[in-house]
Each structure stands twice: as structure tokens, then as C-alpha cells.
Structure 1
């Protein structure tokens, strides 16, 4: 039986176009559908489904819940080999990471999109979509969690991040590298991320169904001459958790240390991340005693999502949050 790939469309640059083919920044969706993008013929039986069409800067929990439920539904069918999700690049890494932690399937799920609008000189959307469909068809892509496919490279959802505002090679995996690549019809995987995902993850859609939005967990970035104002405001606003993106190795300034210590006394879960690349590991003993959880190899933005999921599932449990950050 010939199996098919389901392509879900959620909006983004891949559906947009500009007034002329040299315009790479000023563009909008002019009614293009994802089925209009791909003209290449191949062996894949492809079915296109429009979930919604919005800039990815507007994506939130209602969109994620739709994405999760529809993806799980189609991947449960025997005649479906895998799924591709086209997505705006601004928050693609967050959506891919969230789906990676929740969708219960070992079939391939591949995120892709475009950095250049449809019809522009050097537009990358069609090739990215073609490569992603091939990756979703491949048995080599199974049991790897969610993948991100751009510019001929394949990355793990947990490790991939957007690194440039305009470059088609914007998605990179700093420090850790891509897990594979695709050229023509050739796909090769070189590594895998062994952190729990999909079927091996404890998180599930039921954790989110009763919620209209994730708990308020802001990312607060450190800077020279930092005051406690943003942290104080987050506490007053009712933050359930705070991700502090410190300088260097997640270093906490004196003003922030005092304010975050007060947050911990009031039950707010604090994660210590970094505004730079590289991991944040257990550091000063006093920060550990204060209960500041190191983010490990997660970026501040992904640490925010993981902390919000921890709170959705386990409430304000400090011990569960610590376990989750050690595990995922």
C-alpha cells in the first residue's frame, strides 16, 4: 500500500509574496495556499491541509493544541507515513520543540518554511517543502522525534534555533550540529538527540486541554546596570515561573539575585538560562541553595516552554521542575 504524507499549513513566509521578485522583506500573504507552492513531481502521495494562516509571531496555545491534535489524528492512520508542518520561522523552533514533547507517534514529523517569499529571486520555500516531504516519507526519519528541515539540512527540534533575520541558512544547531542532511533524493542521518521526546515524553495533550493559555512565565534578559524592575513587575503580575537569561554562564547580577530570591520565597519557579550560546550548568552553590534551576543545553525560549509545561502538569512543584530540567 502506497503511503501518503500529510502537509499541514499554518502560514508564514512560505505562503507570502512581494510586489516584485527582488523584495525580500516587505511581503504579505496574497491568498497563496500551500498546495500552490510545490511543482516538483515525485513518488509521494501528498495531502494538503490548511490549519490556519497567521504570522508565527501570533502563535499561541490554541494554535498549538490544534496542531497537536490534528497531527496525532493523521499519524494514527496506517496509510500515513509522516507529517510535514509548514510554519513561519519567527517561532518555528518553539512550536517544533513543543510538538516534540507532546505528540505521541514515532512516525516522522518535519517542520519547514521559508526565509524568502514565494516568487522572490532565490526563494527557498519550494525546495524546503520538497525536501521535508521526502524526509517525512523516509523510514530513516522514524523514532527521531520532531525534525526541522531547511536549506538541505535536518536538525533535531530540541537543538535547532533561528540565528539570522534574513539568511536561508538561518536554522542552525550551535554547539551540537545538525543530525542529518538531504541532497537530491539522498538522506543521511549522522547523529540523534537522546533526550526524551514524543512517545517517551511524559507530557500529553490532556495536560493542556483545560487551559486557554500557558502559565505566565516571562523570559527576563540581563544587561549592564540591571535593576530589579522587570523581575518585580513579573512577580506583581502573577508570574508562576521566570526564566532569567543571564550574562555568560547564566550569571545573576546582585539586583536580580535579590529579586529572584524573593520570587522563590513566594513559590515562583526560577530557571537560570543564558543570553549567549552554550549550556548553563549547576554553578555557584548559593544559587543552587536559592533554588535557581539551571537550563542545561536549552535556550531561554525553550526553557520557558519546558517550565510552562512542567507547571501545567505538576503545578508549582520545585522538585518536579528540577527533575524535568534534568531529564528533558
Structure 2
């Protein structure tokens, strides 16, 4: 049987609802431990309780700890796959961080739940079982970090949370899932063509994220002059365009050597240097802004945090963000 390591980090999947108040919070004991016997029919299971944190409490520091644990266990214990249980609010960011940094091709699966363990229709145990099945599948090897919920298998790069409470919240706009989990087995119907890997040991940079809106000006950039940060991601309009009053602020940041990455606030499509008017993508790229290749804002921030650990050359960063 395959050796599968389960790393628990907290989140709704590990919480209970107080029936008197309706509040959902961590319980004294992780309710997922009761599923271990069922999982042992699928694989040889090893369990570690790494954190007990709601996902809004997760930072890149915890993500790096998970990466280090996985790399160590692969080398020392020859595990065949990893499943990480995680809160859903930042699940996609942790999954993408691991996708970029974990130094192994074994299946790494991140899962969560939208309903706590004692709610009617709790989805946590089922998602965990599905994730172990995927992690134990030979077909999952080399496909990067995967996100498994609601019978669907998604890539860490493309998946995002699309609904605040629906159990089908995780979707991959533009691309769809890689595969499905059924009673018959694990089935993949397409596969990613590109894997990126950055062997980082630390995560020390500070990258900010802004969302553009109609009429936005450079006031926020003036306020940011008193803040120490290493990079900025902007969710721009459309194909990577911004209101003209933002341009001077962006130009000032680029001249200071602070990389500015543009993504779109749209769910689908890429940013491009199409429009040549003031604030258009063409002008911004010529100014030195970095265009991203379809990432959403939160994932572009994760990627910039990681790539800045390897280079701060704007030309090289542009190459990396077009992958």
C-alpha cells in the first residue's frame, strides 16, 4: 500500500459548530482523526497535526514550514503522497505556494471543507477520503500540487474560491478541473504542461496587493511612501489598464526599483500590452510594469514573494511571470 502523510493545519474541516450560538470554532480534538481507520483501507496513513489555525491566520511563514516538512519527509521516510487539510479562505494560496516550492514530484493534495464536522451535510470527511485516493494514485504523480474538493481535482495554479458558502465553491475559471473522483476511481482527463520550481529556504519579502477601480488616483501611492515593501501586485482593469491618475505613482515605484506586477481583476483572460493611451497596458509595460500570465491577484502576490527570493531583476521577473 502507498504511504500517505496527512498534515492537518486547521480550518473549517477541523472545526465544530456551537449549536447554541451558531459560532464555528476549533474543537479540543480534531474531528478528522476519527476517519483514520477508514483511510487505512486506502493507504498506509501517517498523521501530523502541524497547526490548528483558521485559514485567515495562515501566512507565508506557515506555508514555508509545510514545504520544509514535505521535503524532509520525502527524503527521510520515502512517503508516496501528501494530503494537507486546510481552511478554504486561503487554501488556494497555500496550494500555489507549495506548487512553486515543493521539491518533489509525488502527489501533494490540499483539501478543506465548507461545513464544519457536526453540521448537516458536512463535507470534510468525504473530501479527505477523496484526497487520499488521489494522493495514492499513480496518475497524480508529476501533476503538481492538486486541490481536491467536491469530487473534483484542480491545479493549484488555476483553482480559486468562487462562493462564500457553497460546497462547490472551488472552480478553475477558463480551464476547468483536471479530473474527477468517482466510486470507480480517480480519473484525469487532461494534464498541466508546465511545472515551475523555486528552491527557496526563506521567505522575507513584503509584497502588497491593490485592486484598481474607476477613478482611482495616486493617493494610495503617496501613503505608501512611508511603508517598507519589496513589491506590488495590482489587479488592473480589463487587459491590464489603469486610470491615468495612477500612472505617476506607479512610475515612481518602478524608478525606486520596486517591481509592479499587473494582473486583471477579470476571472478569465490575460493582461497584455494592447492599449497605448495613458494608463493603458502598453504604456505601463514600456514604463517597466510586469505583465502576468493569467494569475489572479492573490497568487501573483505569492509568486512575487517567492521569485523575489531568487532575483530582483525586472527583465528576469517579467520572464518568470509569463510562464
- TM-score > 0.5 by shorter chain: yes
Partner of 1:308: 305
Alignment of 1:179-190 (within 5 A): 179-190=178-189
Partner of 1:161: 160
Determine which of 270, 273, 284 is the counterpart of 1:282.
273
Determine which of 32, 35, 39 is the counterpart of 2:33.
35
Partner of 1:241: 231
* CA distances 1:86-132 after superposition (whole Å, capped 9, x unpaired): 01111110100010011111110000010100011011000000000
Partner of 2:252: 262
**TM-score by structure 1 length?**
0.91
Alignment of 1:54-73 (within 5 A): 54-73=53-72
Alignment of 1:9-28 (within 5 A): 9-20=8-19, 23=22, 26-28=23-25
Indicate if the aligned counterparts of 1:10 and 1:50 stay in contact, CA closer than 8 A.
Answer: yes
User: How large is the Cα RMSD of the aligned pairs?
Assistant: 1.8
Alignment of 1:32-111 (within 5 A): 32-33=29-30, 34-37=32-35, 40=38, 42-77=41-76, 79-111=78-110
Of stretches 267-276 and 170-179 in structure 1, the one that deviates more from structure 2 is 267-276
Partner of 1:317: 313
* CA distances 1:270-295 after superposition (whole Å, capped 9, x unpaired): 11112221222233332221011111
Matches of 2:308 and 2:83, distance apart in 1? 29
Matches of 2:125 and 2:37, distance apart in 1? 8
Indicate if the aligned counterparts of 1:146 and 1:157 stay in contact, CA closer than 8 A.
Answer: yes
**Given the superposition, is the C-alpha separation of residues 241 and 283 from structure 1 closer, same or farther in structure 2, using an over 3 Å criterion?**
farther
Matches of 1:12 and 1:281, distance apart in 2? 37
The DSSP-based 3-state class of the residue aligned with 1:218 is: strand
Indicate if the aligned counterparts of 1:22 and 1:120 stay in contact, CA closer than 8 A.
Answer: no
Matches of 2:169 and 2:94, distance apart in 1? 16
Of stretches 168-177 and 268-277 in structure 1, the one that deviates more from structure 2 is 268-277
Alpha-carbon deviation of 1:176? 0.9
Matches of 1:120 and 1:179, distance apart in 2? 29
Matches of 1:106 and 1:280, distance apart in 2? 30
Matches of 1:123 and 1:259, distance apart in 2? 48
* CA distances 1:70-92 after superposition (whole Å, capped 9, x unpaired): 11122235652200000111111
* CA distances 1:239-258 after superposition (whole Å, capped 9, x unpaired): 22111111222221111112
**Given the superposition, is the C-alpha separation of residues 39 and 276 from structure 1 closer, same or farther in structure 2, using an over 3 Å criterion?**
farther
Indicate if the aligned counterparts of 2:114 and 2:165 stay in contact, CA closer than 8 A.
Answer: yes
Count of residues in Structure 1 that have an aligned counterpart in Structure 2? 314
List runs of 5+ in structure 1 lacking aligned partners: none
The DSSP-based 3-state class of the residue aligned with 2:222 is: helix
Indicate if the aligned counterparts of 1:22 and 1:121 stay in contact, CA closer than 8 A.
Answer: no
Indicate if the aligned counterparts of 1:134 and 1:185 stay in contact, CA closer than 8 A.
Answer: no
Matches of 1:89 and 1:122, distance apart in 2? 17
Alpha-carbon deviation of 1:15? 0.6
Matches of 2:256 and 2:17, distance apart in 1? 50
Partner of 1:195: 194
Of stretches 59-68 and 150-159 in structure 1, the one that deviates more from structure 2 is 59-68
Indicate if the aligned counterparts of 2:42 and 2:132 stay in contact, CA closer than 8 A.
Answer: no
List runs of 5+ in structure 2 lacking aligned partners: 276-281
The DSSP-based 3-state class of the residue aligned with 2:13 is: helix
Alpha-carbon deviation of 1:185? 4.1
Alpha-carbon deviation of 1:37? 4.4
Of stretches 7-16 and 38-47 in structure 1, the one that deviates more from structure 2 is 38-47
Alpha-carbon deviation of 1:63? 0.9
Of stretches 35-44 and 214-223 in structure 1, the one that deviates more from structure 2 is 35-44
